[in-house]
A and B are shown apart, each in its own frame.
Chain A
């Protein structure tokens, strides 16, 4: 594993970082190709394949019919036959039409073959709401994917990690689900989280899959999140600092494998844990993180852990309702205050 430093001064959006990583791998590895809806001349609805069609042509950057079961299943077949496909499921919400190809094929073939028939592929998919795209275009579904064994799952929160995780995903001999949050893509029309557009080295590098990042150090509280949620945590940590509390922020970056050690070490230090997740509250990432801490024999908590997650409801269209339901920095700060009064 090579690790680049964040010293480079050139800033990229997450979308550009993903495209750059993909292009660099395609240049050195003829087995890598891209398939999906509108990934060709359009460059992806969310910009993450922009420029690839011009450089590599229609043979290696393939617009598909709206046939997810077929082309994701095809990626599995191609991956096991010596290629390294990158496929896109445009919105994660569309998983319903093709989940069999994902979790019964992509995720299990390695195991069914006793590790002898690997499935080196990347499934890119967009997540998240906040722009009133309603209940079939706004979900995160992190827990849904991370729950099913056999596929690695990464969720970058910024362009640097996106490039490094994409490169790592393409080079990985296992299937990797690359879940990118729309608000981090740097597409102006979606509104953009400014903190996601960061300096990105020009040369290829990897970010290790399965390693969380301590994005901000603190003593009083551990905030754990992923994707867009990390930025809410950073804003909350800033607000808490003004109140005299120091919050540590952990960016999981990868859900499978999950870096439980980094979370436990942090909570061992702070004694307080809030998990922030734009995915549904129940049966998801937030519950898993809290359980991972609580079940550990070394667990010593100063307060009952909390989660700021999406309520267990389909995502409403009306902006008033949607914004009310989404996690944000204020809710995180309020959860911390509640934690102090609960004690």
Chain B
């Protein structure tokens, strides 16, 4: 399955958007945190898990989805949220904890919920798997179209919820796709030290569903595998598992010294963004002027979202008591 020129530019544009958003968040996050790094300080306090390098997973899958399809993401959610079309202003405002944020600042960066595009994420490893299965069940029971996609890290494939969710989805032949972003690390623990099989895609066999392996963080490889899996789900043929070899270009979270990464390992990683840009330029899908315009427009979109967040107020503190129930 080949993406059209338009789809290629869409994927590239969302990679640019996501990366620039992360770069800006990174800079803003560090405000107030130097020279002493204290997580509680600055305009964006708390943990911050950046997605730099993992953009191919998000865009290659979301290129096949509409707002009506469901996505559950992880503690590292920004690239997926951007590709799923989460309201960027409200998302960034939520990351800043502002009143105009998706939840008025109650959730923060690990808890982004945008019902308008059926996106959610969670800070507990493997927690999005059950809800994706349930959303797919709901569509099946209601006779409504739509697929659900659960994104997880490779570390989450060792959580009980992974195995239970895959089995359940397969037993009930639900329209759900499980996507593993294999960045080779779960915090400081290397995948080979935590995972009994070299490839998580082979675990699909245990649950009677197709397992795809996408090597080398390849945008169009993800696009092809996701296209097949999502088409299968839409046809009512049941779930699939996709494992994508990707890269974590940032630390596990901001402030991570990453001393545990072997010497030279990180330097050997390829940044997928310039690589895809070069591929599109070589293919004639993009020219220099078009690229410059696309990048400028994406940057301005991110800057506008950041301005919106910065100019927004916090809710009054007592608003903490609201929305526990509806």
Contacts and interface: CB of A to CB of B under 8 A. Distances in A.
A97 interface: yes
A1 interface: no
Given A41-B188, A319-B40, A321-B315, 12 more contacts: A37-B186, A40-B188, A42-B260, A65-B195, A67-B159, A130-B40, A133-B39, A133-B46, A134-B107, A137-B110, A188-B36, A191-B38
Contact of A317 (B38, B111, B318, B319): B111
A319 to B, nearest CB: 5
A190 interface: yes
Interface stretch (B54-62, B117-125, B168-176, B281-289): B117-125
B15 to A, nearest CB: 27
Q: Which 6 A-B pairs have the closest CB atoms?
A: A317-B108, A318-B97, A324-B317, A318-B105, A132-B46, A132-B45
Contacts of B187: 37-38, 42, 45
B108 A132 contact: yes
A82 interface: no
A324 B105 contact: no
Nearest to A182: B39
Interface of A: 37-38, 40-42, 45, 63-70, 93-94, 96-97, 130-137, 188-191, 311-314, 316-325
- The winner among A131, A188, A321, A322 for most chain B CB atoms within 10 A is A321
Contacts of A38: 187-189
A96 B97 contact: no
Contacts of A65: 155, 158, 186, 189, 194-195
A193 to B, nearest CB: 12
Nearest to A321: B320
A136 B38 contact: no
26 contacts: A38-B187, A38-B189, A42-B188, A64-B189, A66-B158, A68-B159, A93-B124, A97-B125, A131-B40, A131-B45, A132-B39, A132-B108, A134-B111, A135-B107, A135-B111, A190-B39, A317-B106, A317-B109, A318-B106, A318-B314, A319-B45, A321-B106, A321-B317, A322-B320, A323-B317, A324-B318
A134 B123 contact: yes
A96 B98 CA distance: 29
